[in-house]
Structure 1
Amino acid sequence: MHTHTDDTLNRLNEIEQRVSVIRKMVEEDVYCVDILRQAYEIRKAIEDLEDNILQGHLKGCVPEGIKEGKLEAVQQELLQLYSMVGNR
């Protein structure tokens, strides 16, 4: 298991809780702007989750792949990630 797994799981739990809060807000017909604020917080939490996972990947998996002689595969993967992040 990667060292960042506990942090990642904690972040996911937080996101799930926030989604539950929004669901309840919608069911209770809470003011739309308040729901949108919560949705923004979820989006930010997901971006933070992505950043955390990416940092773990760059610090752990990438050097490991290079040491194992998988440089070309690592480069391709990084290019794909770069394209995805660029579309945020």
Structure 2
Amino acid sequence: MGQHSAPETASQVRYPWRATTRTVFQLVVGLAPMMPVIVASSGLPSTAAGIATALAISGAITRIMSVPAVNAALAEWVPWLAAEPRAGGNL
């Protein structure tokens, strides 16, 4: 049998505040374009479309941010949104 190494700990476990920051950022960006619809709506049926759209946008942003090339760009240009801090950095 081959030797197996223990799986690497997920970045969400190693850097929980980074994961929280990324999630809040994604939610804010997802909710921002739908805020007028959500605020203007007072009942659940009319609000449901706005909430669904905001969740879909937030989900899409979450998926896009998980792409390695996007994460590399975030690490370069917006390091506080990267999944892990720069090597030798304190962010």
- Superposition TM-score, scaled by structure 1 size: 0.41
Q: Give the helix-richer structure, 1 or 2.
A: 1
